[in-house]
Amino acid sequence: MRLSSWWPLLLLIACKPSEANYADDDKVGAAQKKWCGALAKVSGDSWQHQAECVAARPSGSAPFLASMADCYRKRHEELGDQAPDSGALVSECTEQVLATSEPGSVGKSPVVQARCERSERCDQLSMKNCINTFNQLDGAQRAVFTSLYNLRAQNEIASCLEDSACGPEPEEACLKKAYERRVWLPLSLAPDPGTAPVGAE
In a domain, 104, yes or no: yes
- Rounded CA-CA distance 140/124 in Å is 26
Q: Is residue 12 part of a domain?
A: no
pLDDT (average), residues 73-100: 90
The answer to the question of residue 25 being in a domain is: no
Q: What is the dihedral of CA 76, 141, 200, 21, to 10 degrees?
A: -90
Domain tally for the chain?
1
For residue 38, is it within any domain? no
Q: What is the dihedral of CA 176, 180, 183, 184, to 10 degrees?
A: -140
Q: Is residue 22 part of a domain?
A: no
The pLDDT mean for the chain works out to 85
- Say which DSSP state 165 is in: P
**What confidence tens digit (pLDDT) does each residue in 39-57 have?**
999 888 778 899 999 999 9
User: Is residue 139 in some structural domain?
Assistant: yes
- What average pLDDT does range 16-37 have in this prediction? 86
**Least confident piece of the model among 45-49, 73-77, 185-189:** 185-189
Residues with Cβ within 8 Å of residue 139, at least 6 apart in sequence: 98, 100, 101, 102, 103
**CA–CA separation, 161 and 177 (whole Å):** 12
For the residues 145-168, what does the mean pLDDT come to? 95
6 is a domain residue: no
**Domain range for residue 111?**
49-184
For residue 86, is it within any domain?
yes
